[in-house]
């Protein structure tokens, strides 16, 4: 008997292998990860609901049908059912093989970058994303790409982050000291949200970014304007560079420049001002203090403000440029 069951099982496996291989190969040729992923999800959902119902519905039915009616009654002794046992071994086995094969095919889809693609880079840090276009243009928390297939090379400056773009059904860890990648197919111009999907510290929830998909002509025009801007920037004064940095780094989300207090203090007139720190010491804010605030905001917290500001690793000239800019706004 056991031998027969075993033979049947083996037959089932061998019958499914060619089918499975063909299905996998076909799925791997479909270069639309969004569709492949959605089909994958729906298949698993349908199978899960089917399995769940096929267990719980009979269970509830039997609980009522075979409940004990007399206190001293003994249950009937049932010594197995070969037909049923074969059925409930083979059916789940086939389901699992098919799901396994489908998962494998989808995985291949999501890992195999189509030949025609552009390559960009995203670097995670606490707490944001630096994006680099193929031309080397850096943007913060904003990835601009033309319509088409995009391979994104990923890494991190500090801890593990995860670059997740739900609209394109893809995500991948950003690991310090390692290079990982993902790819997506940008079909329609528009804005698609990006999230950090790996808990990475107190600012994790603020690691929001977007992919901006542009028409090819629009993208090229944007690249040209950015390149022109950086040529102008190279010749600009430190204060002008500092203004650009303050805007680009998102400082103005928490700091006003016209005396208003937001999550952080206003930046205008702050140099030369005396402030009280959390530990009670009084300081007069100078350029060195501004620089330290930007790189290590938690070192000298100012009384009355929380500890929300993320650290920023900038080049020496960049700190100086920001301090120079802050000096100019009264
Ligand atoms: Cu970065 Cu969570």
Domain assignments of the chain as residue spans, ordered by start:
2-67+81-110, 117-230, 236-328
Per residue in 47-88, pLDDT (tens digit) is: 899 989 999 999 999 999 888 888 787 777 888 899 999 998
pLDDT value for 46: 92
> Is there an atom of ligand 1 within 6 Å of 194 CB?
no
Which architecture characterizes domain 236-328 according to CATH?
A: Orthogonal Bundle (1.10)
Does 296 score more than 60 pLDDT? yes
pLDDT value for 89: 93
- Poorest-pLDDT segment among 69-73, 109-113, 139-143, 294-298: 69-73
Distance 192 CA to ligand 1 centre (A): 18
Q: Do the first three CATH levels of 117-230 and 236-328 match, i.e. the same topology?
A: no
- B/e letters for 234-248, b = 16+ CB within 10 Å, e = fewer, are eeeebbbbbbbbbee
pLDDT value for 1: 61
> Is there an atom of ligand 1 within 6 Å of 164 CB?
no
Question: Of ligand 1's atoms, which has the minimum distance to the CA of residue 174?
Answer: 1
Question: Of ligand 1's atoms, which has the minimum distance to the CA of residue 199?
Answer: 2
- What mean pLDDT do residues 152-162 have? 92
pLDDT value for 175: 94
Question: Of ligand 1's atoms, which has the minimum distance to the CA of residue 127?
Answer: 1
- Poorest-pLDDT segment among 53-62, 82-91, 138-147, 309-318: 309-318
pLDDT value for 237: 82
Q: Looking at per-residue confidence, does 263 or 323 come out higher?
A: 323
Question: Of ligand 1's atoms, which has the minimum distance to the CA of residue 204?
Answer: 2
Superfamily of domain 117-230: Cupredoxins -  blue copper proteins (2.60.40.420)
Distance 309 CA to ligand 1 centre (A): 15
- What mean pLDDT do residues 103-121 have? 87
Give the chain as a 3 state SS string.
CHHHHHHHHHHHHHHHHHHHHHHHHHHHHCCCHHHHHHHHHHHHHHHHHHHHHHHHHHHHHHHHHCCCCCCCCCCCCCCCCHHHHHHHHHHHHHHHHHHHHHHHHHHHHHHCCCCCCEEEEEEEECCEEEEECCCCCEEECEEEEECEEEEEEEEECCCCEEEEEHHHCEEEEECECCCEEEEEEECCCEEEEEEECCCCCCCHHHCEEEEEEECHHHHHHHHHHHHHHHHHHHHCCHHHHHHHHHHHCCHHHCCCCCCCCCCCCCCCCCCCCEEEECCCCEEECCHHHHHHHHHCCCCCCECCCCCCCCCCCCCHHHHHHHHHHHHHCC
pLDDT value for 298: 84
> Is there an atom of ligand 1 within 6 Å of 109 CB?
no
Report the percentage of the chain scoring pLDDT > 70: 90
pLDDT value for 9: 63
pTM tops 0.95: no
Largest Cα–Cα distance in the chain? 97
**Is there a contact between 138 and 228 (Cβ–Cβ < 8 Å)?**
no
Does 191 score more than 90 pLDDT? yes
Between CA 302 and CA 325 the distance in angstroms is: 21
pLDDT value for 31: 63
pLDDT value for 24: 57
Does 23 score more than 70 pLDDT? no
Does 5 score more than 80 pLDDT? no
Q: Looking at per-residue confidence, does 219 or 262 come out higher?
A: 219
């Amino acid at each position: 008997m056991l031998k027969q069951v075993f033979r049947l099982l083996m037959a089932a496996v061998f019958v499914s292998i060619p089918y499975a291989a063909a299905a996998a190969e076909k799925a791997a040729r479909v270069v639309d990860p969004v569709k492949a992923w959605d089909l994958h999800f729906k298949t698993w959902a349908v199978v899960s609901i089917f399995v769940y119902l096929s267990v719980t519905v009979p269970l509830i039915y039997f609980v009522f049908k075979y409940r004990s009616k007399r206190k001293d009654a003994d249950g009937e002794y049932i010594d197995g059912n070969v037909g049923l046992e074969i059925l409930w071994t083979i059916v789940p086995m086939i389901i699992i093989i098919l799901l396994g094969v489908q998962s494998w095919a989808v995985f291949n889809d999501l890992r195999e970058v189509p030949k025609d693609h552009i390559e960009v880079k995203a670097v995670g840090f606490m707490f944001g994303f630096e994006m680099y276009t193929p031309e080397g243009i850096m943007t913060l928390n904003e990835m601009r790409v033309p319509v088409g297939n995009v391979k994104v090379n990923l890494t991190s400056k500090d801890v593990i982050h995860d670059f997740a773009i739900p609209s394109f059904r893809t995500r991948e860890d950003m690991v310090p000291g390692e290079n990982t990648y993902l790819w997506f197919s940008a079909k329609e111009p528009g804005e698609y949200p990006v999230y950090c999907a790996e808990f990475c510290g107190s600012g994790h929830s603020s690691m929001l970014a977007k992919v901006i998909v542009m028409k090819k002509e629009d993208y090229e025009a944007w690249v040209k304007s950015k390149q022109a801007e950086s040529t102008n920037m190279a010749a600009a004064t430190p204060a002008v560079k500092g203004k650009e940095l303050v805007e680009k780094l998102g400082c103005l989300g928490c700091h006003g420049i016209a005396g208003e207090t937001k999550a952080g203090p206003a930046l205008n007139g702050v140099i030369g001002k005396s402030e009280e720190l959390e530990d009670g010491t009084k300081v007069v804010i100078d350029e060195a203090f501004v620089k330290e605030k930007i790189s290590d905001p938690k070192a000298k917290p100012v009384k009355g403000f929380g500890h929300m500001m993320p650290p920023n690793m900038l080049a020496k000239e960049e700190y100086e440029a920001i301090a120079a800019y802050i000096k100019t706004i009264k």
